[in-house]
Amino acid sequence: MSETCISSFSCNTYYNLWLNGPHPQIEDGVVTREVCAGSYWSSCCYYKSKPIRVKACPNNYYVYELVNPQFWCSGYCTDVNNISQVVSYVSSDNITGSNITLNYEPCNNYNTLDNHWRSTFSYWYLYGYINGLDDTRVEWDGWYRLFINGSSAQMPEWCISYMSCGGFSSLWLGGSHPRIEDGVVTREIYGSRYDQCSYYRSEPIQVKACPGDYYVYKFTRPTVSIPAPVYCA
């Protein structure tokens, strides 16, 4: 993908999506990059699409985890120029006996979770009842960053009424978000039912504050006894 602004009407589309940041080096692992789109009438990064994940591979190529762009008539641009990689081999393994612990940075290695119905203003009878929204049916894997329609979001720290966030049982964070210096913390998860904010208690999750004023969450499968639980944003 191109790392520079692309003129309008290129890449066989109207809005040209390009990588707003450098490609990673091999030792960086999987990184998340912002995706921009220019407009004929405005700046190169007038529009911002959903972030994507990128990884550098041996033999001088890259792989991208592309997502569906959030606006019409847009396409990812490619560049045939050779982008040289500076290859260095750095071991980040801490080895103790037969166990290997990798230095893993969740702020650089997360999944994007962008569901408009997770908003606290979305109601179960409009979305969840029809579509069967239920986070116990999701195969959770790793860390996640929340978005709502492309805008960065976070879990609420206060009571959310039941039948909000697209689910029947609305899950919210039972504690404050951490600061960057706190590292990874564990927080309780509560679910609302009728007029009781903490009627349900789900499995705790891990949370981390990241540079750039956002958070990542290690979501897990909610307690199955909770009816149609959904994490709120």
The residues spanned by each domain of the chain are 1-80, 107-231
Predicted pLDDT at 124: 67
Other C-beta atoms within 10 Å of 146: how many? 23
Q: What is the pLDDT of residues 164-180, one digit of tens each?
A: 888 888 899 999 999 99
CB-based contact 120:156 (threshold 8 Å): yes
pLDDT of residue 218 exceeding 90: yes
Count how many residues are written for the chain: 233
Whether the pLDDT of residue 11 is over 70: the answer is: yes
pLDDT tens for 42-74 read 677 777 788 899 999 988 899 999 888 766 677
Q: What angle do CA 77, 82, 87 make, to 5 degrees?
A: 115
Per-residue pLDDT tens digits for 104-115: 789 988 999 999
Alpha-carbon distances, residue 231 vs 9, 152, 158, 219 (angstroms): 39, 15, 13, 9
pLDDT tens digits for 181-205?
Answer: 999 999 999 988 777 777 788 999 9
Give ∠ CA 122-124-130 in degrees, rounded to 5.
Answer: 115
**Pairwise CA distance, residues 88 & 14, whole Å:** 39
Given a contact cutoff of 8 angstroms between Cβ atoms, the answer to whether 185 and 167 are in contact is no
- Could you read off the pLDDT of 113-162 as tens digits, one per residue? 999 889 988 876 665 555 668 898 888 989 999 999 999 999 999 888 77
* pLDDT of the residue at 4: 84
β-bridge mates for residue 102, sequence order:
93
In the chain, the percentage of residues whose pLDDT exceeds 70 is 80
